[in-house]
Amino acid sequence: MQWRRRHCCTHAAKLLYLISLLGVLVFLVQQEWLPRFTGMPWWRGHPVIYGGGGLHTTKAKLNVSSQHLLWRFVIVPQPTFKSDVNISVHHKEGITSPQGNPGFENTLATNTSQSEEGDLSTSVTHGPFPYIINEPDKCTDTQRAPFVVVLIATEARQVEARNAIRQTWGNESVAPGLGFIRLFLLGKNEGELGLLQQRMLEAESRRHHDIIQQDFLDSYKNLTIKTLMGMNWVAMHCPQVSYVMKTDSDMFVNTEYLIYKLLRPELKPKKNYFTGNNMRGFAPNRNKNSKWYMPPELYPSEKYPTFCSGTGYVFSGDLARKIYIVSLSIQHLHLEDVYVGICLAKLRIEPIPPPNEFLFNHWRVSYSSCKYNHLITSHGFHPNELLKYWHHLQSNKHNACINTFKDRGGRIHSNRVNGQKQT
């Protein structure tokens, strides 16, 4: 009898342990920490929640009138500009609020007036923020129209990352004779440290001539402004470029594969072309503790239009001007890639999936020369890693997969031999 009691207590303890473990897992999922510890599916860790298939769409609990639910584009008064938010009082008078029903793409299409297409022919100025550092002659210095401009979002303190990019995938030698231009995008920092960083940044600019900077606070919330600065620069100073890529300074970018396999200079440049890691059917993140929280009052819809992960996307040169101009009529959101997707939806342009879903990765792909020879982006690189893997890839790119198969075959053979010896 005593043995049975101990046996029952043991089972009860195990059951309580499993229940508590399940509770911890549920908590981690809610806090968006679980993706860091799991196998990380392709949509993992992104600032939205997947809204299609078997995963649950987060719905905002809104107390709104039936008139509000009609969700039309309306002109709203501009708020007073604050240095840490991404809405400027210097912006074009009247910002259009990106509000709509669950079919947000349809709302955008039906509420885009015929006259708005004519707005795309208007001249582009430097925008609400003046340039502090600019390279207006970067494109005109080349003998032919550049093939690709790479816009790299960075911060003043990331000097080591910029130097690593200049020596690796951002080096002009990756596309000799084609016209390859890299530009680092920066805002401005405040205080004494900001002044020191500014002097160093200006010296770096004089040395490399690959930095553009406007007078807005460089913060995560202003990443949309930073990206629009890049679009503005292309529209003003390099409208003849065939393609543009926007990426980040902690990325590995196989620019050779991007240019020669995806974009292919021998073909006629595409128009209205936009591709990357397509995020389709995603819903706003309503977790207030999340870095990527989207307040319902800023975006009440239950689903975003299709967009591409901001870690790396590519578009035709003509779209830089179109996206920038249409952004003048759409209220800024702090999620830059989502915002660009909203601009594309208003232009009635759907991002195109890449020919291979593993080309653009917004997570870290484990390195092998074979895999990296056939992808375009991988996320989360320290400058030292970037230098190491880039040089390894360059020395192995012509037989990258052959060496991988040899190594794999050698390990299999070694395991078999060891198994026979043990037997």
Residue 90 lies in a domain: no
Chain centre distance of CA 103: 23
pLDDT band at 113 (very low <50, low <70, confident <90, very high): very low
Q: Decide: residue 193, CB within 10 A, 0-12 exposed, 13-18 middle, 19+ buried.
A: exposed
Residue 91 lies in a domain: no
Strands 75-76 and 180-188: unpaired
Per residue in 319-366, pLDDT tens?
999 999 999 999 999 999 999 999 999 999 999 999 998 999 999 999
Residue 411 lies in a domain: no
pLDDT averaged over every residue in the chain: 78
* CATH number of the domain enclosing 125: 3.90.550
**In terms of pTM, does the model score above 0.75?**
no
pLDDT band at 180 (very low <50, low <70, confident <90, very high): very high
C-alpha 339/C-alpha 335 separation (Å) is 6
Residue 117 is predicted with a pLDDT of: 42
Per residue in 121-166, pLDDT tens?
677 887 889 999 999 999 987 678 899 999 999 999 999 999 999 9
Number of separate domains in the chain: 1
Residue 210 lies in a domain: yes
Residue 72 lies in a domain: no
Per residue in 203-244, pLDDT tens?
999 999 999 999 999 999 999 999 999 999 999 999 999 999
Residue 1 is predicted with a pLDDT of: 53
Residue 298 lies in a domain: yes
Residue 4 lies in a domain: no
Instruction: Please compute the mean of the pLDDT values over residues 406-418 and round it to a whole number.
Output: 52
Residue 104 lies in a domain: no
Domain that holds residue 325: 114-396
Instruction: Please compute the mean of the pLDDT values over residues 239-263 and round it to a whole number.
Output: 96
